[in-house]
Amino acid sequence: MEIESKNSALSKLGGTGCLLFFALFWSGLTLAFDIFIGRSAFQQIQALGYSTAAGSVTHSEVETVDGDDGPTYRPNIKYKYSVVGKEHLGDRYRYGQWSSGGRSAHRIVASHPVGSHVEVYYAPADPSDAVLTVGVEGMDLFLAMFMLPFNLVMLGFWIALGGEVRQRFFSPSAGGARVSDDGRCVRVRLSLWNPFFSGAIAAGGLAFAGTFVIGFGFGADPSLPVMLVAWGVILGGGAAVCLYGYWRRAEGGSDLILDEFRQCMTLPPTLGREEEVIVPFEKVVAIEVETAEKRGSRGNVSHSYLPTVVFTDDKGSRRREPIVDWPFEARAQGLASWLRERLPIEPS
């Protein structure tokens, strides 16, 4: 038993280490792209406060960039402008200009022919730092949409790690389940799933699908109105799923209820129960934790843990009813211990 316990502890420690490794690896890549995209968007917003000068286009063509997946294109525009009598040359259309499909590049070049007059935005502290367009554009919002699923996965890694640390070092009451007490009834929210996660997953799914829809339909540099509509759908869909989840959870249909006035507990209609099961406190014999083994389609084995109430029914027979099915043994044991103290019941 001692060897098994040590092996189990080492297995959990190894699982946490793997999770930490993937979290760091994923976060490093994701944050690198986030910083690049965010810096470009910040510079574009900052450029709204730049000074302006009259300029003219000296060179304008679509530049082809060969890549592994085929050629991409970007506008190559050069211009000249004067600041306080000193002539400057510029070649930046905007901060963070990415190569993309030919549609956007040809549109930009067509609107800036050689010899055309342009308004140049330059940094007052450094007149050589200039762009032809300022503010957030559709491309900025498209890149943010592309990165949203990756950022949500990164957030999920760190939330999972936070839960591991909380369980390992802080031993939250009732296994981490939310407990509310109105003076008569104690409600234990057995669902550990936060509706916010459902909303985030919905938003991430919409963003993932939207990347393909807009990418194929409008290219990687869509217009700002198109992206505002897309983000409205993403945020609206995520918020709707989140609010629906909170509404369902507020109904309390899956809560465990300890009625101090009637001296009984009410098990919710879950885990195969078609209706609530009411168990008087005096009938409770023990609170145990059962282990359920689940075998996947590929033969892999996983375990879940079921805090279970053992009680005598009206016929005097001993009966077992699982309270909840959790994938975390520490949480299940924590809830069982809390119930034993609350009722109180001696550990079996």
Sorted by where each begins, the domain ranges of the chain are 2-33+140-250, 51-133, 262-342
Q: Which segments of the chain does DSSP mark as H helices, in order?
A: 2-46, 102-110, 138-169, 195-218, 224-250, 329-342
The token duo for 138 is 């559709």
Q: Residue 10: its pLDDT value, please?
A: 41
Please tell me whether residue 151 adopts helix, strand or coil conformation: helix
Which stretch, 5-14, 136-145, 216-225, 293-302, has highest mean pLDDT? Answer: 136-145
Give 104's pLDDT tier (boundaries 50, 70, 90).
Answer: confident
CB-CB neighbours of 238 under 10 Å: 23
The whole-number pLDDT of residue 79 equals 97
The C-alpha atoms of residue 195 and residue 67 are separated, in whole angstroms, by: 42
What pLDDT is stored for residue 228 in this prediction?
96
- Distance between CA atoms of residues 284 and 320, nearest Å: 10
pLDDT for residue 170 is more than 80 = no
Task: Give the pLDDT mean for 71-79.
Answer: 90
Going by pLDDT thresholds of 50, 70 and 90, the confidence category of residue 8 is: very low
| Token code pair at residue 259 | 């009625």
Question: What's the pLDDT at 221?
Answer: 80
Nearest CA among 268, 282, 259 for reference residue 321: 268
Which among 256, 270, 250, 251 is positioned nearest to 185, based on CA atoms?
A: 256
51-133 has which CATH code? 2.40.50
Confidence of residue 70 (pLDDT cuts 50, 70, 90): confident
Mean pLDDT of 10-34: 81
The reported pLDDT for the residue numbered 15 is 61
pLDDT digits (tens, 9 = 90+) for 235-284: 999 999 999 998 888 877 889 999 988 999 999 999 889 899 999 999 99
Q: Which of these, 80, 77, 76, lies nearest to 63 by C-alpha position?
A: 76
The pLDDT, as a whole number, for residue 348 is 52
Helix (H, G, I), strand (E, B) or coil at 1: coil
Taking CB atoms within 8 Å and a gap of at least 24, the contacts of 232-237 are 233/206, 234/145, 234/148, 234/203, 234/206, 234/207, 234/210, 235/203, 237/202, 237/203, 237/206
Q: Which residue has the tokens 């559709």?
A: 138
* Amino acid at the residue 299: G
Structure tokens belonging to residue 323: 């309270």
Residues 202 and 235: their CA atoms lie apart, in Å, by 9
What is the pLDDT, as a whole number, of residue 26?
A: 94
- What's the confidence (pLDDT) of residue 14? 53
pLDDT digits (tens, 9 = 90+) for 35-59: 999 999 999 999 999 999 999 999 9
Structure tokens at 338: 């809390």
Round the average pLDDT of the chain to a whole number and report it.
88
24: left (phi over 0), alpha (psi -120 to 50) or beta: alpha
Q: Stretch 322-344: mean pLDDT, rounded? A: 89
* Cβ burial 16-43 (10 Å sphere, 16+ → b, else e): eeeeeeebeebbeebeeebeebbebbeb
- Please identify which residue in the block is written with the tokens 């990756």: 150
CB 254 within 8 A of CB 190: yes
% residues pLDDT > 70 (the chain) = 92
Q: What is the per-residue pLDDT for 116?
A: 96
Q: What pLDDT sits at residue 347?
A: 55
Helix (H, G, I), strand (E, B) or coil at 308: strand
Average pLDDT over residues 171-184: 84
Sheet holding 264-267: strands in order across? 178-181, 185-189, 255-259, 264-267, 277-280
For β-strands 178-181 and 126-131, DSSP reports them as unpaired
| End-to-end CA separation in angstroms for the chain | 18
Closest to 138 measured CA to CA, from 220, 55, 36, 48: 220
| C-alpha to C-alpha distances, 88 to 85, 127, 178, 263, 282, nearest whole angstrom | 10, 8, 64, 85, 89
- Average pLDDT of the segment spanning 292-314: 85
* Residue 95 predicted with pLDDT over 80: yes
* CA 75-76-77 angle, 5° bins: 105
| Arithmetic mean of pLDDT, 83-106 | 87
Global confidence as pTM: 0.76
Residues in the chain: 348
Mean pLDDT within 67-76: 81
Cα separation of 281 and 265, whole Å? 7
